[in-house]
Amino acid sequence: MTSRPTIALAASAGACALALGVTAPALAAPDQAQDKAMVSVFHGIPGMTVDVYANGDELLSDFKPGTVTDPQSLDAGTYDIQIFEAGQGPEGAPALEKKVKVPEGGNATVAAHLTADGKPQLTAFINDVSNVDDGKARLTVRHVAAAPAVDVRAGGQPVFTDLTNPDEDTAAVDAGTVNADVVLAGTDTVAIGPAELNLKEGTSNVVYAWGSAEDKNLALATQTFSGAETMPDALNAGGSGAAFTPNSPAQWLAWATAAGAITLTGVMVARQFAGRRG
């Protein structure tokens, strides 16, 4: 990727249709796991409210699309993550299932989303919450929508190009505000936005492009980590989530493994959601 111009990103007044602050309870983890990790959950499957279970315990109930939780401190270890349509777990068959190994000291977001061709899946992303230089903020864009490759622009200029589901790209940028949008790769055809966004100095900001281009419900969701949140000692480490629906459609998110911070094992159960998305 070539040079990345100065940009800034986070929900400003009027840019967000929904501010999210869902708090997930701490889970009882495997007996052998004593150390901690920070874990967030993002729901990026349109049209379906879900319950999330980990190792048979309910983690989240009535979890609505476009919602991202605050980071929570969990014991390191392996978790069987199951996603059920609301009210159908834990005895019924899960819509999605994946075993996730969360190592000590990790910071990850587990995302339920659509693949590029519209199938539901789970993806784990590693969150880079390391310090940035004075005057800077970190921006990460994750393509987790049922949509083709896109470019992300700031002030009309491409910042990230040819991003495909389930990839992400990251840059350290000048703190500030910018008018950002998402366009089809190599074109000026707007898929999401524009949105006036703000990146505060010293923060790590994650933008999820999620939804379905075919169903015309593309949207953005944001997750912000304030400061160096690498020490998972407290339940609420300052992260926050927000979502809004711009004036165009798209859907994104995917299981990514980085730097050995999270390992995915097991089989994902992906059931068709025909007629449930909208």
pLDDT confidence band for 226 (50 / 70 / 90): confident
pLDDT confidence band for 227 (50 / 70 / 90): low
pLDDT confidence band for 265 (50 / 70 / 90): very low
Position 19 pLDDT exceeds 60 = no
pLDDT (tens digit, 9 = 90+) per residue, 238-250? 344 544 333 322 2
- The mean predicted confidence, pLDDT, of the chain is 75
Would you kindly state where each structural domain of the chain is located, as residue ranges?
18-265
pLDDT confidence band for 101 (50 / 70 / 90): confident
Question: Mean pLDDT over residues 130-145, rounded?
Answer: 95
> For the stretch 143-178, what's the b/e string if a residue is b when 16 or more beta carbons lie within 10 angstroms of its beta carbon?
bbbbbeebbbbbeeebbbbebebbbbbebebebbbb
CA distances from 185 to 6, 38, 182, 189, 215 (A): 20, 33, 9, 9, 19
Position 33 pLDDT exceeds 60 = no
Higher pLDDT, 12 or 49: 49
151 - beta bridge partners? 183
pLDDT confidence band for 20 (50 / 70 / 90): very low
Question: Mean pLDDT over residues 42-54, rounded?
Answer: 95
Question: Mean pLDDT over residues 152-170, rounded?
Answer: 93
Question: Mean pLDDT over residues 15-43, rounded?
Answer: 53
Position 108 pLDDT exceeds 70 = yes
Position 159 pLDDT exceeds 70 = yes
Position 198 pLDDT exceeds 80 = yes
Specify the range with the lowest mean pLDDT, choosing from 20-24, 175-179, 217-221, 251-255: 251-255
Amino acid letter at 36?
K
Query: So what's the pLDDT on residue 38?
Result: 92
> Looking only at Cα atoms, what is the longest distance across the chain?
53
**Residue closest to 199 by CA, chosen among 5, 41, 1:** 5
C-beta of residue 207 within 8 angstroms of C-beta of residue 182: no
**CA 92 – CA 88 distance, rounded (Å):** 6
**CA 269 – CA 89 distance, rounded (Å):** 14
**Residue closest to 65 by CA, chosen among 53, 52, 48, 83:** 48
Question: Mean pLDDT over residues 21-38, rounded?
Answer: 50
Position 252 pLDDT exceeds 80 = no
**Of the segments 80-84, 85-89, 238-242, which one has the largest average pLDDT value?**
80-84
3-state percent helix, strand, coil for the chain, nearest multiple of 5: 0, 50, 50
Enter the tokens of residue 80.
């069987």
